[in-house]
Structure 1
Amino acid sequence: MIEPLFLSPSFQPKIWGGRKLETVFNYQIPAGKIGEAWAISAHPHGPSKIQNGPLAGEELNEAFKLHPEYFGNPKEKVFPLLTKILDADASLSVQVHPDDEYAEVHEHELGKTECWYVIQADPDSYLIYGHHAKNRQELAEMINKGEWDQLLRKYPVKTGDFIYVPSGTIHALNKGIMVLETQQSSDTTYRLYDYDRVDEKTGEKRELHLQQSIDVTTVPNVDPKLNVKEQQRGASTFTTYIEAPISPFFSVWQWRIKDRQKLTHQRAPYTLASVIEGKGSLSVDGKDYPIQKGVHFIIPAQVSTWELAGDLQIIASEPNNK
């Protein structure tokens, strides 16, 4: 019998991280400042591990290569998506990510388009999102002069918001924000500004990537127009945050389950899911699996339908390859 693939996160220490992954999600995290849980990850910098079934003990990147039938025998060489939870106990660096073309040439991996569901945000929280430069020359001048107040846009956010961050968008999570991030499976980040912080281990400022940032930033800034759709099914609510053609790489949904609901794959042969609140059960081929806040799983291609029941808030995603 084919089972869902439950995954254990890989935890990433960060200069801006905190301890909320422990206090909010009850994860057993390493000591120190832990900024990210790579929850559904096949990236070599932090692969998650399958916990159950015949693939138990395998890292997701290994499973993707050795058992392609679980993923619909995909054409991609690497697992295309990465799901994270980020805890910004301090502000992240102001940064930008390249698209696929630039990343392939310069970094030999995928580009990085991403999106955030805001799990928690302190009162009066804001992001850095976008910029005010009219052309690339002005962008370069403002970056090289460090004119951050004039260049950067502040974007207020609150718990429950959804933000799409295409490659080429200058952005930063700020202190007091926790998000679930869905992104392309890439670890390439170009830093424009890091508040002159010093790395505790090296005693030096972290590396900046000014020329790469100037090269890849979209100029002028263009805010994507989302078409969020909400559907009521019984007592449950299904929200589509983003899908093709707005996002060429992934579709993302929120499932607010209040009763029993049957689901199927939508855009790809397999589905990624993260429980961010509540508890209930996942039923596959008549077998029930208890799930609760902090659980992450993949519904593989061999499973055509499944059921969710209970009181659950889930962020789900699929690569747009169907």
Structure 2
Amino acid sequence: MRITALEIQESADTTYRLFDFNRIDPVTQNKRDLQVQQGIDAITLTQGQQQLNQKQELIEQAVVKTLVDQPPFTLNHWSVRGKSRLTCRQPFTLLVAVAGEIDLNFNGQRLTLTAGTTLLLTPENDYYYLSGHGEFFLAWPHS
């Protein structure tokens, strides 16, 4: 089984280091300090379950599932099985391919998306044309 983690963040003026991959600080030659307790203290959890309004739609030969659509961002999962197209209306949209192989065509250019491919899409193109079989996530911030 393969697990892919996609971390989407909003801007914050405070950052706590919870894990650092055992990296060594080049100045002190020691592992960098972690701020685990401060990170835990900063977490705000709401009581009970939050209701996510997930929806699914078919766009040509792609199943698009909205996983999150509330501030501060929207996150969609695309499963392409043939041809489809997507639009990008936001100042930027993050695309992260996670499975298969999909050709992305725009402005006479072609990129092949395979697992791990990450792109920033911009609204200069009316459409991004897709063909192939694979999956990717799209995320964009709310205005």
TM bucket (normalised to shorter chain) is 0.7 to 0.9
User: In structure 1, which of residues 254, 257, 265 is the aligned counterpart of residue 77 of structure 2?
Assistant: 254
CA distance in 1, matches of 2:30, 2:15: 23
The TM-score normalised by the length of structure 1 is 0.37
| Residue 232 (structure 1) shift | 2.2
The 1:223/1:259 distance shift into structure 2, 3 A limit, reads same
Aligned to 2:6: 180
Provide the secondary structure at the position in 2 that maps to 1:259.
strand
Provide the secondary structure at the position in 2 that maps to 1:283.
strand
Is 1:274 aligned with 2:96?
yes
CA distance in 1, matches of 2:48, 2:16: 20
Aligned to 1:217: 43
Aligned-residue identity in percent: 19
Task: Please list every run of 5 or more consecutive structure 2 residues that lacks an aligned counterpart in the other structure.
Answer: none
| Residue 275 (structure 1) shift | 0.7
User: In structure 2, which of residues 87, 106, 110 is the aligned counterpart of residue 288 of structure 1?
Assistant: 110
Question: 1:185-229 deviations in whole A, cap 9, x for unaligned?
Answer: 5572365xx8xxxx6857779434535643x33366443221111
The TM-score normalised by the length of structure 2 is 0.75
User: In structure 2, which of residues 130, 136, 141 is the aligned counterpart of residue 314 of structure 1?
Assistant: 136
| Residue 302 (structure 1) shift | 1.5
The 1:237/1:217 distance shift into structure 2, 3 A limit, reads same
| Residue 252 (structure 1) shift | 0.4
Is 1:120 aligned with 2:24?
no
| Structure richer in strand, relative to its length | 2
Provide the secondary structure at the position in 2 that maps to 1:207.
coil
Contact 1:275 1:293 in 2 (8 A): yes
Is 1:207 aligned with 2:34?
yes
Provide the secondary structure at the position in 2 that maps to 1:210.
helix
One-letter identity of the residue aligned with 1:207: L
User: In structure 1, which of residues 263, 275, 291 is the aligned counterpart of residue 86 of structure 2?
Assistant: 263
Report 1:69-108 matches (<5 A). Answer: none
Contact 1:190 1:210 in 2 (8 A): no
Provide the secondary structure at the position in 2 that maps to 1:313.
strand
Question: 1:210-260 deviations in whole A, cap 9, x for unaligned?
Answer: 35643x33366443221111112343210101112xxx1110001111111
Provide the secondary structure at the position in 2 that maps to 1:258.
strand
CA distance in 2, matches of 1:205, 1:298: 31
Question: 1:74-94 deviations in whole A, cap 9, x for unaligned?
Answer: xxxxxxxxxxxxxxxxxxxxx
Residues matched between the structures, number: 136
CA distance in 2, matches of 1:265, 1:200: 38
Larger Rg computed on CA atoms:
1
Report 1:40-189 matches (<5 A). Answer: 120-121=2-3, 178-185=4-11, 188-189=15-16
User: In structure 2, which of residues 34, 46, 58 is the aligned counterpart of residue 232 of structure 1?
Assistant: 58
CA distance in 2, matches of 1:290, 1:204: 39
| Structure richer in helix, relative to its length | 1
Provide the secondary structure at the position in 1 that maps to 2:9.
strand
Give the RMSD, CA atoms, in angstroms.
3.0
Contact 1:190 1:213 in 2 (8 A): no
